[in-house]
Structure 1
Amino acid sequence: MSLSPRLAWLTGLVATLSLAAVVHILVVLTIPQNTSHSAYADVANFGPDRQFNLLPDVQPGAEPLPALDPAMKHAACRFTLDEGPVLFTASIPVPFWSIGLFNEAGEAVYSLNNRTSGSDILSMLLLTPEQLSIIRENPPEDLDELIVLEIPATNGFALLRAFVPHAHQSREVDTALSTAFCGSLS
């Protein structure tokens, strides 16, 4: 018994679309394993670890990192908690600033801004649960003034962002971001 030409054509179309769907799904699922770079790796191109490095201004088609806001100035700091806790401090004289913490996979693990922190000054300590236990035994004098954040991941990066309300403040914001601190507690 043979299929009518119309039914044969329809069967071939369904088989082709099914195969295309399977191939598409396999390609999408293997993209993370085949990607040779990440935001964590890209941040290393802007300067040494454990210090904020000013990123170039965002230009259309030439963003230093994906999804940056062109109305903001940005500084990034790569860190590993294997070297000890990381202290972040900054004083940025603008109406809005924020800091985002990202793990090695580039996933946001924490975000804070001047409005939610209740202060124009950033003072945050990042550590692992084990490091927090050690700090509790002999806390620094200003521990109660810090936002203390424990995360299980040991590698990541911080992205400090500051809104530039007027072009004439650009240099002042650059200076504030360049002098922000990302380093050891002591």
Structure 2
Amino acid sequence: MRWLLALLVFAATAALGHFVVLQAIPAKIMATAMERMAERGVPMNQWTASPRMTPQTQTIVRPSPDLSYAICRFDTSEGPVLITAPGWEGYGSLSIFDRRTNNVFVSSLDGQDAAVLLLHPKDKGASPEGLPDATETVFLDGAGLALIRRLAPSQDAYDRAFSLIDGAACDAVR
């Protein structure tokens, strides 16, 4: 009987630990990140480019000074969101993270544009008109982040990468 009780306590503790590590902590990390971005004025459904990384502009531990970053907060619970990013002549990527920090989509921007339609699972079957060719579809339940990274080791390269943000979209689709 004693061993059975100890086994039940162990199983309950393991299940709780599993839930906390895989569900609660990542969701809290992303919620905190989204709150801090909102406090800094990062709008929903709009790309925001970060300044070139230097010791004075770094807000996270060890960002690469050779990369240009742009981020977009989005929420699919209000409807579909279209994410696009122009290609780049060197290394570039578009990554999408869900509300639990899972990387749910990655596309290379090395010489090619990327287009992703983000849909809430309740919108399954929806297909807005006027989407770019080769648009991929990803289903996400709620809020998340999209991140563009481009190799830009010089100020000139950073300026060119920064200018591409005007050609990117992070728009609610009605």
| TM-score, structure 1 normalization | 0.66
Tell me the distance in 1 between the aligned counterparts of 2:149 and 2:35.
19
**Alignment coverage as a number of residue pairs:** 152
Q: Which has the higher helix share?
A: 1
Mapping for residues 57-76 of structure 1, pairs under 5 Å: 57-60=52-55, 63-66=58-61, 68-76=63-71
In the other structure, the counterpart of 2:35 is 41
Deviations, residues 134-153 of structure 1 (Å, cap 9, x unaligned): 32xxx5254752111123x2
Residues 1:176 and 2:164 aligned together? yes
Match of 1:132 among 102, 124, 129: 124
Structure 1 residues 42 and 65 mapped into 2: Cα distance closer, same or farther (>3 Å)? Answer: farther
Residue pair 1:78, 1:158 contacting (<8 A) in 2 also: yes
Residues 1:93 and 2:106 aligned together? no
Residue pair 1:40, 1:104 contacting (<8 A) in 2 also: no
Q: Choose 1 or 2 for highest CA Rg.
A: 1
Greater mean deviation of Cα atoms: 169-178 or 37-46: 37-46
| Percent sequence identity over aligned pairs | 23
Q: Which runs of 5+ in 2 are unaligned?
A: 1-16
Mapping for residues 11-22 of structure 1, pairs under 5 Å: none
Residue pair 2:51, 2:57 contacting (<8 A) in 1 also: no
Tell me the distance in 1 between the aligned counterparts of 2:96 and 2:61.
15
Residue pair 1:94, 1:164 contacting (<8 A) in 2 also: no
- Secondary structure of 2:101's counterpart equals coil
Structure 1 residues 185 and 34 mapped into 2: Cα distance closer, same or farther (>3 Å)? Answer: closer
- Secondary structure of 1:145's counterpart equals coil
Tell me the distance in 2 between the aligned counterparts of 1:46 and 1:158.
16
Structure 1 residues 100 and 43 mapped into 2: Cα distance closer, same or farther (>3 Å)? Answer: farther
Q: Which runs of 5+ in 1 are unaligned?
A: 1-25
Residue pair 1:53, 1:76 contacting (<8 A) in 2 also: yes
Residues 1:145 and 2:145 aligned together? no
Deviations, residues 42-90 of structure 1 (Å, cap 9, x unaligned): 3322521100011122234753345532211111111110121110112
In the other structure, the counterpart of 2:7 is none
